[in-house]
Structure 1
């Protein structure tokens, strides 16, 4: 059995690992790589023949794990894609949204003075629908027989509705070995989602390391942080609180937390706009799979009703409704995507409010280097929007209390569930090198054997 790491190797995005057993090839995740060059250069050429892949296993729907599946199919993959039911539904939404982003980039490039056509989309809607047709859904904690020698079990890992760690049991030459892929590990007590479940003992573990060496903020809760920020921006002052949030996962957790705050009467009423069609569709998926949300969310539903609906909360549906928010003159909260400010309706709200002294922009998620969100967080005094250079007068704030990733302690706990004497090797992926080495050092001190694969590096298991 051979393991080759072809994505998220000493970086965060582009998750993709190839597991080769006797006569059978398994691809775990097939995500978009954002971090080098253009999306075309890095994602349209695979380092293996897609037609030789027998099956794909998808840990969760986020685009850095699912986003290159249509390309894989376009280039010859003919097998099934195994995932949980919510992952299938959420992936369809995200992949269709990716097509829109590709087309919008092409349109922008085409509007130059020489009217040259922009880059061709990586894939189109028809490729997404072909991908959706390949999904085979499997529930949590159910053993699925992939073939005569390989079984699969999905274990809930938090992070996002439907997200799973992958447990594979593989028999070769009469010897059975178990290998686990964590996907992205969630954190405990996260709004809407249940805590990650412990993983069973395995022989090999491929583990994410996003927050290696880093701890989440302590001493306050997300409720307290939101109350403090809303009070300062919208109650003491007649301002606007703009919260860039990823449409799938982050927005639902934020809305539920705001529902809890206002239903308890901890703040006077404030108008809230959720300005993201994708978030609206994703929230319906959360309602569809309500049995998979946290016990806290279920209890709230029994007592108060829908976690994602409450007084003074408005979901916009079309561009006209979105633009009308600019004409709302009372203090308000605007939740919009994309979380890193690289596209979507959030840019409209920034354009009209970035020079507003009474506006606060609160980041609740990670912003990759070079993105507009990153430039604001590092304190750039001028940003460019709609071909205009605008002074930044709005207050820029950030909190990691709604990060969907477990921190260093959560990562350590996941690995330490594994007996040192049984776990032969830990492979670290999905993290910046600084985080990976900090996590690796901590694991080695506990007696674990750790490898940090380079892209394309292959290991005999």
Structure 2
């Protein structure tokens, strides 16, 4: 058995790991590498032949884990893509959205020739056809139900929180000599007591673990609940100052948890009613997926549904779908909350809302997620006094705030718990991926102190799992 980390090695994005059992090749995740954003075409430079991959296992829908699947299919992959049912539905939405983003960037950055084709170097990474070809390859598996991948490889999905349908992939491999080996890939690990989602389940005892390390060495803020944090911000921005609160949020996962938290606040009379706009077509469609798989939300959300109704719907909430209505939100002059994507401000309708409000002294912008270097969100959090939005340089007069209470990633303690629940005697090696270098090193140091063999693998290096 051999393991090669082809993505998210000593960086956060582009998760892609190759597990070889004899001649059988399994690709775990196939995400877009945002480090290559300046030349998105670099994502098609696979160092292996896509046609030689037998099967893909997808841990969850987020683009840094799923976003390069259509490229893999376009370049020759013919096998199945194994995932949970919610992951299949959410991934389809995200991949189609990626096509739209590719097309907008291509049209914006390139002039068309007379034949209507893009100039060289501006082609989208993949098109809608490739997404639908990819969706056709999905085979869905339930949680905690062993699935026979091949005659000697068994796969089990273990819930890990983080996102609806997200799973750790646990493989049990029987080699030709009859020796049984086990390896698990966490995907992204969620946190305990997160709105809407169940807590991560413990992993079984295994020989090898490939785990994310996003929050290695870092801890989430404690002392205030999600509701308490939101109440404090809303009370100041929308009630005392009679202004507006803009919350950039990823459409899938983060928005649903935020809407549910706001529902609890207003339904329980903890604040006077404030108008809430969710301005994201993708959020509308993905919320329907959350409703479809309502049996997978946590017990608290299910009890809320039984007592008070749909946790993603309340009186002062409006979902905005078309662009005309989105523009009308800017003309709503009463205090309000606007939730829009994208979370890092690198595209989407959120840029329109910022364009009209960044110079508004009575506007507060609340970040509830990570912003990568180089994004508009990163520059605002850094405190830049002037930012570039929609071809204009604008002074920042709005109040900028940030909270991690809605981060869907487990922190250092959660990551350590994930490992510690596994029998230390049996666990031979822990491979750390999906994190910035300092986070990985902090996590590795902590594991080493506890007596584990922790490795920060280099990209493309093969490890024999003896």
The TM-score range, normalised by the shorter chain, is over 0.9
Aligned to 1:139: 142
Aligned to 1:127: 130
Q: Deviations over 1:415-455 (max 9, x none)?
A: 00111110000000000010000000100111100110011
From 409, 412, 415, the counterpart of 2:416: 412
Equivalenced residue count is 461
Counterparts of 1:333-352 in structure 2, within 5 Å, are 333-352=337-356
TM-score, normalised relative to structure 2? 0.97
Aligned to 2:18: 18
Distance 1:39 1:252, change over 3 A: farther
Q: Secondary structure of the residue that 2:405 maps to in structure 1? A: coil
Give unmatched runs, 5+ long, in structure 1.
Answer: none
Distance 1:118 1:323, change over 3 A: farther
Is residue 109–residue 116 contact of structure 1 (8 Å, CA) maintained in 2? Answer: no
Q: Deviations over 1:226-262 (max 9, x none)?
A: 1011010100012110000000000000000000000
Is residue 247–residue 339 contact of structure 2 (8 Å, CA) maintained in 1? Answer: yes
From 171, 187, 201, the counterpart of 2:174: 171
Aligned to 1:290: 294
From 185, 201, 223, the counterpart of 2:227: 223
Indicate the larger mover: 36-45 or 152-161.
36-45
Structure 1: distance between partners of 2:66 and 2:431: 20
Is residue 106–residue 120 contact of structure 1 (8 Å, CA) maintained in 2? Answer: yes
Is residue 109–residue 117 contact of structure 1 (8 Å, CA) maintained in 2? Answer: no
Q: Secondary structure of the residue that 1:327 maps to in structure 2? A: coil
Q: Deviations over 1:312-362 (max 9, x none)?
A: 100011001100001111000000000000000000000000000000000
Structure 2: distance between partners of 1:353 and 1:196: 38
Structure 2: distance between partners of 1:176 and 1:298: 40
From 367, 372, 377, the counterpart of 2:381: 377
TM-score, normalised relative to structure 1? 0.98
Q: Secondary structure of the residue that 2:34 maps to in structure 1? A: coil
Distance 1:275 1:410, change over 3 A: same
Structure 1: distance between partners of 2:18 and 2:268: 49
Counterparts of 1:25-104 in structure 2, within 5 Å, are 25-36=25-36, 38-104=38-104
**How far off is 1:117 after superposition?**
6.6
Is residue 14–residue 30 contact of structure 1 (8 Å, CA) maintained in 2? Answer: yes
Root-mean-square deviation (CA, aligned residues, Å) is: 1.4
Is residue 106–residue 118 contact of structure 1 (8 Å, CA) maintained in 2? Answer: no
Runs of 4+ that moved beyond 4 A: 115-118
Give unmatched runs, 5+ long, in structure 2.
Answer: 113-117
Is residue 222–residue 402 contact of structure 1 (8 Å, CA) maintained in 2? Answer: yes
Aligned to 2:115: none
From 150, 155, 175, the counterpart of 2:153: 150
